Amino acid sequence: MLGVYAPGDPVINLMTVTSGGENMDDKKAGEDAYIKMWKKLNMDLPVFYFSISSQAECDTLYKIHRKAHRETLGALTTEFGNWNEIDKYYKGLQTFEDKVLGFVPDSASTKTWGRLRDNIGNLYNKKEPKSIENTLSKLDGYVNKINDTLNVLAPALVKLQGQYNDILSNKSTWKKYVPSFNWYGFKNRYHNWITRFAQFDFGISYQDRKPIAKKIGDNIFWTMLISIISIILTYIFAVPLGVFSAIKKGTTADSLTTTFLFILYSLPNFWIATLLIIFLCNPEYLDWFPAFGIGTAEAEGKSMLASLGIRIHHLILPLFCWTYGSLAFLSRQMRGGMLGILRQDYIRTARAKGLPENKVIWKHAFRNSLLPVITIFANIFPLMISGSVIIEVIFTIPGMGRMLVDAMVAQDFPVVFTIVMMVAVLTMIGYLIADILYAFVDPRITYNSKK
Amino acid sequence: MLFKKKDKQNEIENKEAPQSYWAYVKRQFRKNKRALYSLYIILFLAVIAIFADFISNDKPLVCKYEGNTYFPVFREYGVKTGIMKWNEKLVNAEWYDLDYDWAVWTPIPYKNTTIDYKNAPFIGPFEKQDIKSARWRHLLGTNKLGNDVMACMIHGTRIAFLVGIVSMGIAFIIGIFFGAVAGFFGDDQLKLSRARVILNILAFPLAVFYFGVFFNSSIWLAVIAFIAVFILANLLGKVLEFVPFIKEKMNVPIDLVITRFIEIVVSVPVLILVLSVVAVFPPSIFLVMGVIGLVRWTGIARFIRAELLRVRSLEYVEAAYALGYPRWRILLKHAIPNALAPVFIAVAFGIAAAILIESFLSFLGFGIPIELNTWGQLLTQSRQAPEAWWLAIFPGFAIFITVTLFNLIGEGLTDAIDPRLKQ
């Protein structure tokens, strides 16, 4: 969906040969290369299974391969609403261009011929009637100046002007407001893309023309590593902290932890990361940690242990920034869940029958309070990738998040869409895992019968 | 006559029983001092946001110039709305260099877009500044280009609040609509004729089409067209209800449909979606607000749905039914007002999240026009110049405080509305 609105022409982005040479052959070759790439990218197919357009629009506009031309024609159809005439005009323009390019000017009129050719090129991008008329009259002037013995150009131009006037005289603006439904079937770009996505064929990046799957493979390691460590750390610290403050409810220790966790939870991690970099990784203040990267260069050639040390040294700050937010969030949830459980009747019963407090809390209360914590797991999973964006950018870690931002800056949309889609899939997997864990932890929950 | 009487009766009832639900919530909220003070501070910040132009501006509030008195700040509003025009002498005036008889400047005599070349790059708040007098000091220093950080902070408040409130406003409308329909009708209360069900389904693509047609001319027109298609479809359905077969009523499990829809929207990773949308389209605050609003309404919808599922079986709703009120009236006048309180929990948290997303985007340099110098953008600038500590501390602190205060209000509301959680 977003692919349609993405700025830039994907074909040109991927092309190595620049089109539009000096003479007819070069232009033809460039055009052919363009069409080849265009077909290779499946751009000659409709976007989706169906489309809803107005009667005025052409339902097979996608078959015109130049994006700029498509835009011009689209703009003209919304303006005048008569596709037939506009199509004729477009074809007339093309034949006129062919004739001009095929024309061999004598030495006196080469310059004018060059101007004429450039102006025809411009005409493809003109969307407003006024500028089209201007250009047409300019063309008229050039054609008259050229020494045209065989008299090929003038009639073609007259024909073109006639076609343009047809557009003006046969306006049907009302058609714009009448919807029409077009069915394209399975031969469409979305279908191709999604089936390829399912086969892990993500396409090619505009930036370096590497396959996206390979790029992701290179980048996913650090994101995964840091996320997994971070998830483990979160659960290790958050669960006991939440339980602790729930048990000690009302004491100073509890209110201190609660306030501390609340502040931690509200601190935006990009602020903390910036502050840490400025004050802890800067010779001007404290130079304790390296500010950037993951220490690949430093770790090269060192022994296992030494390079591990360097890596850890590099990862401490990112890990901290990555973890503290979810840690605070999780322990607050844990506290809330635990408090709710401790109020239940069966806890009172357990206490009444003389069970030691330890057993009451860990065996009866704790197990039951795990339920909400598990649901959060589903949320944490995809959050890891989006959370990684900012931390990876700040600490310049070569992971998925930074790859996403770099791709956005470079307008490398295949990469962007692949990552977005992957996050969506991961989210669904997260929810699935949470559902399964849920049933596992709470035997009352089943998914196979209704009520 | 009849109506007047009823109004009076209502008045009397209200006087006798000031124990309305809202009054109760208010009282409970007031008990929570932390949340109450947060609210006061937020209101103070809101005042700053609203009057940002009067607190920090690159024009004088009042000035006397060549014998005439002008109110440039006010006039700028007039010029922007197209009512007024600048005086010819002042059209392209260099406001700082004019030879005034006298002039009253705003407390911060700079704007977020004002560039002070003399005090650039990165002049700290305590460093020596190249200024006429202490009045013109850059209180919080300047950034690389020479923008006054204090002015950026004040105008940043406005942008943060604008994004938070407008995006939650959009979310509020969408959320209330879906949540109310799902909660009030449930799975068994909405019975529509076949004609209307079919027409409504058919109307959807048509509405999308007309939205697209009008989108280029004006977004409001597009929204109106979108709604109008549905209204027309339902009117047509009403007319068609005279035909025997299609007038049969059928049960629409609307709650099921909407909760499934909510689940889908919830599973969309907000940050990634906002990032990708913002990367594709040219930068604009309104786009950011719109996208946040379109994704963050689910919390609101869930709250009001849960509340309405409870409210719809209460006595007063049944009483309203018994009195023969139409259903839309019961929904709008009786059910929703009494189910609205929990929604503000979601709104408070939502504003906090929206402000965070906005500063996150600014920080990354996406979506928000770069010349605005929002909090996030200031923070990002500090990464280029680690020695400019004022660029790291103040904007970050502003983001932190605003987000925290909104979260505190949300917590306070949660406690006030659901006393069960309090104890």
A54/B280 CB distance under 8 A: no
pLDDT tens digits for range A3-55: 444 444 444 444 443 333 344 455 566 666 666 666 666 666 666 677 777 76
Chain B neighbors of A78, CB-CB under 8 A? 216
Q: Looking at the partner chain, which of B210, B269, B363 has a beta carbon nearest the beta carbon of A423? A: B269
Selected for mutation to probe chain A from B280, B406, B415 (highest A CB count within 10 Å) is B280
Residue B102 phi/psi, 5-degree rounding, is: -155, 155
Specify the DSSP class assigned to residue B191: E
Residue type, A406: D
Chain A neighbors of B273, CB-CB under 8 A? 420
Task: For residue A378, give the nearest of A426, A411, A326, A320 by alpha carbon.
Answer: A426
A181/B379 CB distance under 8 A: no
Better-predicted residue by pLDDT, B176 or B215: B176
B366/A266 CB distance under 8 A: no
Query: Residue B6: its pLDDT value, please?
Result: 53
Domain B19-57+112-130+138-186+265-423 in CATH 1.10.3720.10 = yes
B269/A424 CB distance under 8 A: yes
Residue type, A150: L
| Domain spans in chain B, listed from the N-terminal domain onward | 19-57+112-130+138-186+265-423, 58-105, 191-251
Mean pLDDT for chain B? 81
* ω into B283 cis (within 30 of 0): no
> Is B67 at the interface with chain A, CB within 8 A?
no
Task: For residue B132, give the nearest of B146, B121, B122, B118 by alpha carbon.
Answer: B118
Contact B146, B120 (CB under 8 A): yes
Q: What is the DSSP string of B267-293?
A: TS-HHHHHHHHHHHSPP-HHHHHHHHH
Mean pLDDT for chain A? 75
Chain B neighbors of A267, CB-CB under 8 A? 400
Chain A neighbors of B393, CB-CB under 8 A? 275
A6/B269 CB distance under 8 A: no
User: Which chain A residue shows the shortest CA-CA distance from B363?
Assistant: A270
Please state at what angle helix B33-50 crosses helix B149-185, rounded to 10 degrees: 120
For range A218-236, the mean pLDDT: 85
Selected for mutation to probe chain B from A48, A57, A274 (highest B CB count within 10 Å) is A274
Q: Looking at the partner chain, which of B280, B364, B366 has a beta carbon nearest the beta carbon of A2? A: B280
| Helix extents (H) in B244-388 | 254-266, 270-280, 285-295, 298-311, 315-322, 327-329, 336-339, 341-364, 375-384
Chain A neighbors of B387, CB-CB under 8 A? 284
State pTM to two decimals: 0.80
B272/A385 CB distance under 8 A: yes
Return the structure tokens found at B258: 């909407």
Chain B neighbors of A383, CB-CB under 8 A? 269
A54/B209 CB distance under 8 A: yes
> Is B387 at the interface with chain A, CB within 8 A?
yes
> Is B104 at the interface with chain A, CB within 8 A?
no
Q: Can you tell me the distance from the alpha carbon of B145 to that of B122, in angstroms, rounded to the nearest whole number? A: 8
Percent of chain B with pLDDT over 70: 94
> Is A425 at the interface with chain B, CB within 8 A?
no
> Is B364 at the interface with chain A, CB within 8 A?
yes
Selected for mutation to probe chain A from B211, B275, B384 (highest A CB count within 10 Å) is B275
Q: Distance (Å) from the C-alpha of residue A274 to the closest C-alpha of chain B?
A: 7
User: Which chain B residue shows the shortest CA-CA distance from A415?
Assistant: B276
Residue B193 phi/psi, 5-degree rounding, is: -70, 155
Selected for mutation to probe chain A from B204, B276, B381 (highest A CB count within 10 Å) is B276
Contact A427, B269 (CB under 8 A): yes
pLDDT tops 90 at residue B41: yes
pLDDT tens digits for range B218-229: 788 888 888 888
Task: For residue B142, give the nearest of B391, B363, B393, B394 by alpha carbon.
Answer: B391
Chain A neighbors of B280, CB-CB under 8 A? 2, 5-7, 413
State the pairing for strand pair B102-105/B68-70: unpaired
Return the structure tokens found at B416: 């006030």
A2/B277 CB distance under 8 A: yes
B205/A181 CB distance under 8 A: yes
Q: Distance (Å) from the C-alpha of residue A108 to the closest C-alpha of chain B?
A: 47
Domains in chain A: ranges and CATH = 10-193 (no CATH), 212-441 (1.10.3720.10)
Exposure string for B265-299, b = 16+ CB within 10 A, e = fewer:
bbbbbbbbbbbbbbbbeebebebbbbbbbbbbbbb
pLDDT tens digits for range A381-432: 666 666 678 888 888 888 888 888 888 888 777 788 788 778 777 777 877 8
Q: Looking at the partner chain, which of B210, B276, B281 has a beta carbon nearest the beta carbon of A420? A: B276
User: Which chain A residue shows the shortest CA-CA distance from B278?
Assistant: A408
Q: Can you tell me the distance from the alpha carbon of A264 to that of B288, in angstroms, rounded to the nearest whole number? A: 26
Q: Can you tell me the distance from the alpha carbon of A288 to that of A277, in angstroms, rounded to the nearest whole number? A: 10
Q: Looking at the partner chain, which of A266, A382, A431 has a beta carbon nearest the beta carbon of B407? A: A266
> Is B273 at the interface with chain A, CB within 8 A?
yes
Q: Distance (Å) from the C-alpha of residue B292 to the closest C-alpha of chain A?
A: 15
pLDDT tops 80 at residue B328: yes
User: Which chain A residue shows the shortest CA-CA distance from B405?
Assistant: A266
Q: Can you tell me the distance from the alpha carbon of B282 to that of A177, in angstroms, rounded to the nearest whole number? A: 28
Residues 165-224 of A with CB under 8 A from B: 176-177, 179, 181
For range A135-158, the mean pLDDT: 75
User: Which chain A residue shows the shortest CA-CA distance from B421?
Assistant: A340
Query: Residue A200: its pLDDT value, please?
Result: 78
Residues 333-392 of A with CB under 8 A from B: 343, 382-383, 385-386, 389-390
For range A117-127, the mean pLDDT: 76
User: Which chain B residue shows the shortest CA-CA distance from A3?
Assistant: B280
pLDDT tops 70 at residue B360: yes
Better-predicted residue by pLDDT, B120 or A5: B120
Which of A41-55, A84-98, A115-129, A247-261 bottoms out in mean pLDDT, i.e. has the lowest?
Answer: A41-55
For range B349-377, the mean pLDDT: 87
Better-predicted residue by pLDDT, B98 or B397: B397
pLDDT tens digits for range A339-382: 888 888 888 888 898 888 888 888 888 888 877 777 777 666 66
Q: What is the DSSP string of A99-112?
A: HHHH----GGGHHH
Residue B314 phi/psi, 5-degree rounding, is: -75, 165
Query: Residue A34: its pLDDT value, please?
Result: 67
Give the up-direction half-sphere exposure of residue A209: CA atoms within 13 A in the CB hemisphere.
Answer: 6
